[in-house]
Amino acid sequence: MKEKHKLVTIVVEGTPHEWPEEKITYVEVVTLEVPEFAQHPEITYSVRYKLGHGNKPEGVLTPGASVKVKEGMVFHVSETGQS
């Protein structure tokens, strides 16, 4: 039986969000900040994080990747450009 992950609070661009999963993907982070992201695949975003887990406390989340979340983890989402 899969153990239920406890809710953690992550901060995306200054807004706290409760997150029920152990990991979060690039698409999930961007969608928290830009709810209409799915309708605009031509726009790309840069996602940086800090205050993550000990072995990788900060870094960049790239499309297709995910990262383990931690209470108080901070994400920065910025638009990188349009086609």
Give the model's pLDDT for residue 6. Answer: 85
Where does the pLDDT of residue 4 fall: very low under 50, low under 70, confident under 90, or very high at 90 and above?
low
Q: pLDDT tens across 23-49, in order?
A: 999 999 999 999 999 898 788 999 999
Q: pLDDT tens across 64-74, in order?
A: 999 999 999 99
φ, ψ for residue 46, nearest 5 deg: -100, 130
Task: Give the Cα separation of 32 and 17 in Å (integer).
Answer: 8
For the segment 51-68, the average pLDDT, to the nearest whole number, is: 93
Pick the closest to residue 77 from 39, 38, 9, 28 (CA basis).
28
CB-based burial of residue 4 (10 Å sphere; 0-12 exposed, 13-18 middle, 19+ buried)? exposed
